[in-house]
């Protein structure tokens, strides 16, 4: 058993994260935390959970039915209808932002995978270059070890 010194001519293969990978993964973590907080907030906050004041819902329903029948609702009914419409619009926008952030996670995952593939290709080419450029004495030693 021989104790060989480390070979300086082989160089080192660098498997540390690049600045781009670190930035992508940090951004992914921030977006994941944001989505988690938004989901918890959206599922637990009364604005999103309750269907609103019963009187406002009744007035809005009457205003919509009156409008469909061709009539003109009173001011309170029309205001209630607009309140319900704005509330539903805000809820839809909130969940749309949450879904857009989720879609952004897919894009970030693709960018990270592309960066990993790029680094893998660079490492493979560096390893092939190291094998190709190693001194002949190492090749003879390995061939001798394989024969004996």
pLDDT digits over 28-40, tens only?
Answer: 999 999 999 999 9
- Which 8-state DSSP code applies to residue 15? -
pLDDT at 143: 64
pLDDT tens readout for residues 51-95: 667 777 777 777 787 788 887 778 877 788 888 888 889 999 999
Close Cβ partners of 52 (under 8 Å, ≥ 6 residues apart): 83, 84, 87
Helix (H) or strand (E) holding 96: helix 75-133
- 72: tokens are 């003109």
- 63: tokens are 């205003």
Report the alpha-carbon distance of residue 122 to residue 15 in Å, rounded.
11
Name the nearest CA neighbour of 131 among 9, 16, 4, 5. 9
**pTM for this structure?**
0.66
For the chain, give the percent of residues with pLDDT over 70. 80
pLDDT confidence of 48, banded at 50, 70, 90? confident
pLDDT at 16: 84
> At residue 119, does pLDDT exceed 70?
yes
Query: Average pLDDT of the chain?
Result: 82
Residues shown for the chain: 148
Name the nearest CA neighbour of 106 among 26, 19, 21, 31. 31
């Amino acid at each position: 058993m021989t104790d060989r010194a480390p070979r300086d001519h082989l160089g080192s293969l660098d498997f540390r994260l690049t600045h781009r990978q670190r930035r992508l993964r940090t951004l992914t973590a921030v977006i994941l935390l944001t989505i988690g907080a938004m989901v918890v907030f959206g599922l637990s906050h009364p604005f999103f959970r309750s269907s609103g004041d019963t009187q406002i819902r009744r007035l809005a329903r009457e205003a919509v039915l009156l409008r469909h029948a061709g009539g003109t609702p009173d001011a309170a009914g029309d205001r209630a209808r607009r309140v319900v419409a704005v509330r539903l619009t805000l809820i839809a926008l909130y969940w749309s932002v949450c879904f857009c952030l989720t879609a952004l996670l897919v894009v970030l995952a693709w960018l990270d995978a592309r960066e990993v593939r790029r680094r893998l290709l660079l490492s493979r080419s560096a390893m092939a270059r190291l094998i190709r450029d190693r001194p002949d004495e190492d090749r003879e030693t390995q061939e001798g070890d394989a024969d004996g």
